Every structure is written in C-alpha cells, then in structure tokens.
C-alpha cells in the first residue's frame, strides 16, 4: 500500500498568501494532509503566487466578502481539522471567519494565525515584511561586517522559519493535544517572536561574558579565524567552522600554521591570525582547497551558488533536489521534503496547483451542482 504520510486524514483550509502560511501548509501537505488553499479571485494575477510552495495542494478561489462565499467556507470548515490564516489582526473577524465564529461550526477546529507582530501588543496593526521582523527582533543588527550596514539575508528567514515552520510546529502540537483531550485551540504565531528565539546563543554569550554582541564581531561571526569565511584565488569563498580545539588544530596543521594552534581564541593576536589565514587562502582556487580539505576531519564547506546546489550529488541522493512532472508532461525542478520519517515519509505527490484549479471539484464534494457552480462563478463568488 502506498504510504499516505503521517498526517493522512487531516484536512487543512489555508487562507494565507505569499510565503509564511503557504510554506507551513506545504509542510503539512508533504506529510499527507489534505490542504485546500483558498484565495480571492482578485489575487489571480498577483506576481507573488509562489508556485514552489503550492505542491500537494488543492486551490480554490472564493470571495469571503460575499454571503455565498461565507456559506461555502462554513461548510468546508465544518469538516476541516485546521484553518490557517495570515491576515492582519482583525481581518478575519470582519470577514466573519474568525476562530470564535468557526468553532461554532466546528468545535474541534485548530485555528492558526500568522502575523508579523502577534495578535496583541502595541505593534499588532503594524505592517511589515521579512526584513522588518529581522530588524525589530535584533537579528538583522548582528548580520554583516563590523562598522558596515546590516546585511539583508538572501533568503526569507522570518517568513520561513519564524513563520511557516513555527506555525507547522504549533499546529502539530495542537493536533496532539486534541487527540488526547478533544479540545480545539487557537495558535498565535508572530514572526518577530519567532526571530527572538534565534537569539539563544547570543543571550548565552551575553550572560557568560557580560558583553552585548556586535555585528561581525562574535565568536560565531567573524571575530576569530576559526569561524570565518575566506576568499580564494578565483574570487570564490570557503567557510571554516573549526570551533572545537581538535578541529582548529587540524586546520592549522593543514595550513602549516602550527604556531597558531594554542592561539585559537587569543584576542590580542586574532586579527593577525585572520590576516595570515586570508593570505594563505588567496593563493589557491576553491577547487584546489576542496582537494586539500577533502579527507580532513575539520569543519569546512565551500560557499556554493544556487546553481551548484541544484546540481549537487548530495542533494540529489538525499532527494532534496528532485523533479516533478507538470500537467503538460514537462519536468520541473522541485525542492524535496527535508523531514525524513522512516515509516511515514513525506512525499511530493502532485505538482504545484494553479490558481483556483480545484474550485469546481471542491464545491461538487459539498453538494453544489454544476449549474450552481456556474452561477457562483458568474457572480464572482468563485
């Protein structure tokens, strides 16, 4: 029998847009949940309909501002396990699809809301995007070079980790509690809250050393040669993470710098050591350094480009870069399922869905006739 995933039998209605919510529901869908993404048709031409997080899902268009649209949603919600939304606080209340309203239709519902700053507090109505949540949480201030402007990461950390992943975790926790008690639950996910959780190591070092960390000048961010990045002769980069003494010792031996072995965290000589190591790395290409470090037991990695990652044997073997067949028969690159379960593994079962693709089929399931569906479409409800 084909494995359906750990969440087989769970139905999720996803009202969210852009990246955080759809990433969360993709995780749930990858592991077997039935996810029905629901969006208003006025967003059909939105350039930010990210197809890369729409796999394994169904999608329907629905105007929740209409009475007919609300009635359809209530029917769907009555049979759902989870509702996910990413609007500003108060929007779902105005639409009549908030937690308190829905739990009257479904007392067992798990309701998750993802926002930038949470459902309460002085910033609850403040708008924002990934960079703003990184900034407000203090994370952005720690990224970059000393005495230079903060550097915006090239990936959406707050959206994916603090938003999507935290929401998926919260939903799974709430489903587990419901399994034991039968109780429904509301989940308040703030992406800024989530980024605060990224400061665990920085708080530890503050409490241990009595000094606040500063940009590009921390034990795990460029302060010492053992945890740094270095440019090579061909203008590529290599990363070194030799935090433990045994790794640092081997690193120094490979670079023929035995005099620096006892000086790993020497604050007086740290700049001297970094400059010496920089000079050595600039003498060889990245490929040459790969060969030198290939059999070493130290913590190193080339700084790869996206092009290299998509072609890397490691990620092909781990099925983290794979291919899915689109409805027209073409092969499209997809990112794999990163949570590997032995008995109930996640999988990519269907390619990314198009906007509103399943509206008719879903309505047919809850009793609407073909004629009624055409009428709803003509009225702009779907």
Least confident of 31-35, 99-103, 149-153, 352-356: 352-356
- Annotated active-site residue 159? The verdict is yes
Region 180-192: mean pLDDT is: 96
Instruction: Please report, for residues 88, 143, 157, 195, 345, the alpha-carbon distance to residue 160 in angstroms, rounded to integers and kept in the order given.
Output: 18, 18, 5, 11, 21
Q: Strand 300-302 to strand 331-335: parallel, antiparallel, or no bridges (unpaired)?
A: unpaired
Region 14-40: mean pLDDT is: 97
pLDDT of residue 201: 94
- Catalytic residue, chosen from 30, 40, 98, 159, is 159
How do residues 84-143 score in pLDDT, each as one tens digit?
999 999 999 999 999 999 999 999 999 999 999 999 999 999 999 999 999 999 999 999
CB under 8 A, 24+ apart: contacts of 284-291 = 284/232, 284/233, 285/232, 285/233, 285/234, 285/236, 286/232, 286/234, 286/236, 286/237, 286/238, 287/234, 288/232, 288/233, 289/232, 289/238
Residues 94, 151: Cα–Cα separation, whole Å = 38
DSSP state of 324: E
Tell me the CA end-to-end span of the chain in Å, nearest whole number: 36
pLDDT of residue 3: 63
To the nearest 10 degrees (0 to 180), the angle between helices 20-30 and 166-181 is: 50
Helix (H) or strand (E) holding 292: helix 286-293
pLDDT of residue 1: 36
- Annotated active-site residue 130? The verdict is no
- Looking up tokens 């949540």, which residue turns up? 133
Q: What is the mean pLDDT of the chain?
A: 95
- Calculate ∠ Cα 11-192-77, nearest 5°: 20
Q: Are 335 and 346 in contact (CB under 8 A)?
A: no
Q: pTM of this prediction?
A: 0.93
Three-state secondary structure along 37-57? EEECHHHCCCCCCCHHHCCCE
User: Does 2 score more than 80 pLDDT?
Assistant: no
Q: Are 17 and 59 in contact (CB under 8 A)?
A: no
pLDDT of residue 48: 75
Q: Strand 185-190 to strand 110-115: parallel, antiparallel, or no bridges (unpaired)?
A: parallel
User: Does 316 score more than 50 pLDDT?
Assistant: yes
Q: Are 341 and 6 in contact (CB under 8 A)?
A: yes
Question: 154 falls in which pLDDT band (50, 70, 90)?
Answer: very high
Q: Are 217 and 142 in contact (CB under 8 A)?
A: no
Q: Are 365 and 72 in contact (CB under 8 A)?
A: no
Domain architecture of the chain: domains with CATH: 11-197+338-378 (3.40.50.10540)
pLDDT of residue 4: 81
How do residues 69-86 score in pLDDT, each as one tens digit?
999 999 999 999 999 999
Does 209 or 192 have the greater pLDDT score? 192
Joined tokens for residue 112: 């998750």
Q: Are 76 and 83 in contact (CB under 8 A)?
A: no
Joined tokens for residue 206: 């503050």
- Catalytic residue, chosen from 129, 188, 217, 222, is 129
Signed CA dihedral, 76, 78, 82, 85: sign only: positive
Question: 41 falls in which pLDDT band (50, 70, 90)?
Answer: confident
User: Does 322 score more than 90 pLDDT?
Assistant: yes
Question: 46 falls in which pLDDT band (50, 70, 90)?
Answer: low
pLDDT of residue 47: 62
pLDDT of residue 281: 98
Region 53-58: mean pLDDT is: 96
Percent of the chain predicted with pLDDT > 70 = 98
Residues 56, 349: Cα–Cα separation, whole Å = 6
Region 151-160: mean pLDDT is: 97
């Amino acid at each position: 029998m084909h494995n359906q995933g750990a969440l087989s039998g769970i139905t999720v209605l996803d009202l969210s847009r852009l990246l955080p919510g759809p990433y969360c529901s993709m995780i749930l869908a990858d592991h077997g949940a039935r996810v029905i993404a629901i969006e208003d048709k006025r967003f059909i031409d939105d350039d930010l309909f990210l197809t890369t997080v729409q796999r394994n899902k169904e999608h329907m268009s629905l105007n929740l501002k209409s009475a007919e649209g609300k009635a359809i949603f209530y029917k769907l919600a009555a049979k759902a396990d989870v509702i996910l939304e990413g609007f500003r606080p108060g929007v779902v209340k105005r639409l009549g699809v908030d937690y308190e309203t829905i739990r009257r239709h479904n007392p067992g519902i798990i309701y998750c809301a993802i926002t930038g700053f949470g459902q309460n507090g002085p910033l609850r109505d403040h708008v924002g995007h990934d960079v703003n949540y990184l900034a407000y949480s203090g994370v952005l201030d720690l990224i970059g070079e000393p005495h230079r402007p903060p550097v915006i990461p090239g990936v959406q950390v707050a959206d994916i980790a603090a938003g999507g992943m935290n929401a998926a975790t919260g939903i799974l926790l709430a489903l587990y509690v419901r399994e034991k008690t039968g109780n429904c639950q509301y989940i308040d996910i703030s992406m800024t809250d989530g980024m605060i959780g990224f400061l665990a190591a920085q708080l530890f070092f503050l409490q241990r050393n009595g000094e606040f960390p500063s940009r590009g000048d921390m034990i795990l961010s460029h302060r010492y040669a053992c945890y740094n990045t270095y440019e090579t002769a061909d203008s590529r980069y290599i990363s070194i993470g030799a935090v433990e003494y045994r790794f640092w010792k081997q690193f120094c031996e490979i670079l023929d710098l035995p005099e620096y072995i006892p000086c790993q965290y020497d604050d007086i000589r740290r700049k001297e050591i970094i400059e010496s190591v920089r000079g050595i790395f600039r003498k060889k290409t990245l490929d040459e350094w790969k060969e030198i470090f290939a059999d070493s037991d130290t913590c190193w990695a080339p700084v790869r480009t996206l092009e290299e990652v998509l072609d890397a044997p490691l990620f092909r073997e781990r099925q983290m870069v794979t291919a899915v067949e689109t409805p027209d028969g073409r092969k499209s690159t997809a990112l794999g399922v990163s949570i590997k379960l032995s008995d109930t593994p996640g999988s990519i079962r269907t390619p990314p869905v198009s906007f509103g693709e399943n509206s008719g089929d879903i309505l047919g399931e809850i009793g609407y006739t073909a004629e009624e569906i055409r009428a709803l479409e003509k009225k702009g409800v779907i």
